[in-house]
Each structure stands twice: as structure tokens, then as C-alpha cells.
Amino acid sequence: MRNSTVLIITNSDSDLTKLKFAGSKILNVLSDEFIEFCGKTLTKDEEFLSKIREKYKYEKRERYAIMSEDITSPAMQKNSDVFNFLLLLFPSILSVEYILSYQTSKEFTRYLDCFECEIKFINSDNLYFDESNLNNINLFISNYFPNYFESKILKFPIINYINAFESNMFHFSYVAFCISLEGIIQGGHELMYRIRRAIAIICGFDEKSSEVIFENMKKIYDLRSKIVHGEQFSEDLVSEYLYYLECLVSKTIIELIVDNIDDINILSKQITKSGFGEQNKLSTNWTEYILNPKIEKTIYKKL
């Protein structure tokens, strides 16, 4: 006997069932397959599905279940890893709305309880992906999802990135995103300059785009300094810069997942040897993936 969970997520304008994760599946909660699963596991209708149906009458907001391909077997990846990877690829207000708990064995799966989470509703920040790019997105998921959290360099930046979305205070989220970037740089002198330069090289596709990121990073870190040192700062500016920062951290982590450099000393040396517009020289593993054009459009604009 073991316990397992199913995550019910929302705030996506795109059909998440079209994304393919090894060992897991994403179902629309109003699909025949998921409703049949709820019936077989005696999932209490009044605690979950009836609420979803009632909400759907007024909101027309889709909900999706992240669950194991075979809920009676240990998942290849935790369902939370699927959720986190979605958030990494598509910075948004994608949210877990319900957590369903089950007790499973080879013979049966039995519903235990349901926990409802508080979520945000801001339509402009919903998850969205371009379906014309679906094959490329699923190829990236297939190639990098199974091992993305094993990198020594990226483990804590990814944790800080995910945690940043969980804060209800914008300035706390802002600092957490900055800390995520700082996790890929060795400490030492001129730290802020080296962070700016490193991110500009990792994310810039040519010299001009690297220069834009380099200058934008100065504005981001000037504001970060005011926040962490207790100086007066503009909440409007935090709000204005926050989405840019989300996209920049996402892009940085994605690029480093592809580069697959697992030693921070090697990464540091490669960045030192490279110049603006030379992201393709950081690693022989580098491959161009345009997964989310919204990120590209955001990070290459001047703040």
C-alpha cells in the first residue's frame, strides 16, 4: 500500500492534454477518461467534480489532472515535477487548484481526500503555447524532462524559481527570481557585473540582444538593491519588471538545461571565454529551441 496524488491545475488558455510527459498524463477533468477514473476510485463527487461543474458554468475555465500513467505503480516523475516543468517553460499563473489523495496497491486504488488550494485569476497571465510549435515543445520535454532536476548547477535555481511564484508579495517574488539567477554564478568580486554579463551571454542570440539584457539587468539589480536594503522602492516598478524577470530566469534555466554543463567552474570558464552573442559557444551540447516566443519577445526589449 502506498499513497499517491493527482494534481488538478488551472489557468491555462492552451490544451495541456497535447503535452506529453513520460510516465505521466494530463487529462481534462471533464473528459470521459478522468470521470471514469473518479468513478472507479470512488472519488467523492460532492468534494470535487460537482464543484468543478458548477464553476465551469460561470467561468468556462478548463481544469486538468496531472496523474501517473499507472497510478498503482511508482511514477517515473512526481506529478509536481510535471507542474514545475510546465511553469519553467511557460512563466504564468498556472496554479494547482486541488490535490486529490489516493491509497493504491496492485489490486485497487481508493480515494482518501481532497485539498482545495487558493489560486489567482488574472487572464492575461494564463499559460499559453503556440500549437504550431507543439512538436518542438514535446521534443524538448522528451529530451530534457526526465533528468532536468539532476543538474548540480540548476537544482537550487529551479527551486528558487518555483518558490518565487508561490509568494503573495511581489517584492518577495522579485528577490527570489534574482536569487535564482545568482545561483549559477560563483561568488567573489564584482558579483553584480559578472551576473549581468553571464546572463547576457547565456540568453542573448546576438551582440545587440546581449547588450539589451546586460543593460536591463542593471535596472533589475538596482531595484533589487533597494528592496533588500530596506530603501524606499516603487511597487509599480516591481510589478513592471517582474514578468520580464520571470521570463529571463526561465530562459536562463532552459538554456543551461540544454548546455548540460554540470560543473559551475567549467560554466564560469566558458562564460569568461565567451562574448556577447556567443551563447552557442558555451557548450557543444547547445541546440536552439524556441519553445515560447512570448519569452523571446519580452527579454530582448529594453526596460
Q: Which pLDDT score is estimated for 77? A: 59
In angstroms, rounded to a whole number, what is the distance separating the alpha carbons of residues 281 and 7?
Answer: 39
Question: Considering the entire predicted model, what is its pTM?
Answer: 0.92
188-247 pLDDT per residue, tens: 677 889 999 999 999 999 999 999 999 999 999 999 999 999 889 989 999 999 999 999
Question: What does the alpha-carbon distance between residue 96 and residue 16 come to, in Å, rounded to a whole number?
Answer: 14
Q: Would you list the domain boundaries of the chain?
A: 2-125, 151-299
Q: Do 210 and 277 form a contact (C-beta atoms < 8 A)?
A: yes
Would you state the pLDDT for residue 74?
Answer: 57
Low-confidence ranges of the chain (pLDDT < 70): 72-77, 120-124, 188
Q: For residue 18, what is the DSSP state?
A: G
Tell me 118's DSSP state: P
Residues 280-290 have pLDDT tens digits of 999 999 998 88
**CA dist., res. 274 & res. 280, Å (int):** 9
- Within 8 A by CB and 6+ apart from 228, the residues are 175
Residues 113 and 244: their CA atoms lie apart, in Å, by 38
